[in-house]
Amino acid sequence: MLSRIAESLFWIGRYIERADDTARILDVQTQLILEDSTVDEPQTCRDLLSCMGVEPEDAATFGVDLTGAVTIEQVLRLLAYDPGSPSSIAGTIMAARESARGARETLTVPLWEAINTTWRPIPTGHFETLRPPYVFQWVRERAALISGTADATMARDEGWQFIQLGRSIERADMTSRLVATTALSAGTGQWTSALRACGAYDAFLRTYRGVETERAAAEFLLLDRLSPRSVVFALSRAQFSLEGIDPQPPRAGFQDEASRLIGRIKAELEYRSLSDLVDDLPHEMERLQRTCAAATDAISRRYFAGAEAVSWKGVGL
With respect to residue 309, please indicate whether it lies within any of the assigned structural domains. no
The values of phi and psi at residue 6, to 5°, are -60, -40
The one-character DSSP state at 174 is: H
- Distance CA(301)–CA(182), nearest Å, equals 34
With respect to residue 313, please indicate whether it lies within any of the assigned structural domains. no
Amino acid occupying residue 175: T
pLDDT tens digit string along 75-89?
Answer: 999 999 999 998 899
Q: 1: pLDDT confidence band, cut at 50, 70 and 90?
A: low
With respect to residue 317, please indicate whether it lies within any of the assigned structural domains. no
With respect to residue 105, please indicate whether it lies within any of the assigned structural domains. yes
Q: Looking at the 3D structure of the chain, how many domains does it have? A: 1
With respect to residue 196, please indicate whether it lies within any of the assigned structural domains. yes
Q: How much is the pTM?
A: 0.91
With respect to residue 137, please indicate whether it lies within any of the assigned structural domains. yes
pLDDT tens digit string along 12-67?
Answer: 999 999 999 999 889 888 888 888 778 888 988 888 888 788 888 888 888 888 88
Residue range of the domain that includes 184: 3-303
Q: What is the mean pLDDT of the chain?
A: 89
Q: Is the pLDDT of residue 316 over 50?
A: no
With respect to residue 310, please indicate whether it lies within any of the assigned structural domains. no
With respect to residue 308, please indicate whether it lies within any of the assigned structural domains. no
pLDDT tens digit string along 284-309?
Answer: 999 999 999 999 999 999 999 654 54
Question: What pLDDT does residue 317 have?
Answer: 40
pLDDT tens digit string along 233-246?
Answer: 999 999 999 999 98
Would you list the DSSP string of 253-292?
S-S-HHHHHHHHHHHHHHHS-HHHHHHTHHHHHHHHHHHH
pLDDT tens digit string along 91-133?
Answer: 999 999 999 999 999 999 999 999 999 999 999 999 999 999 9
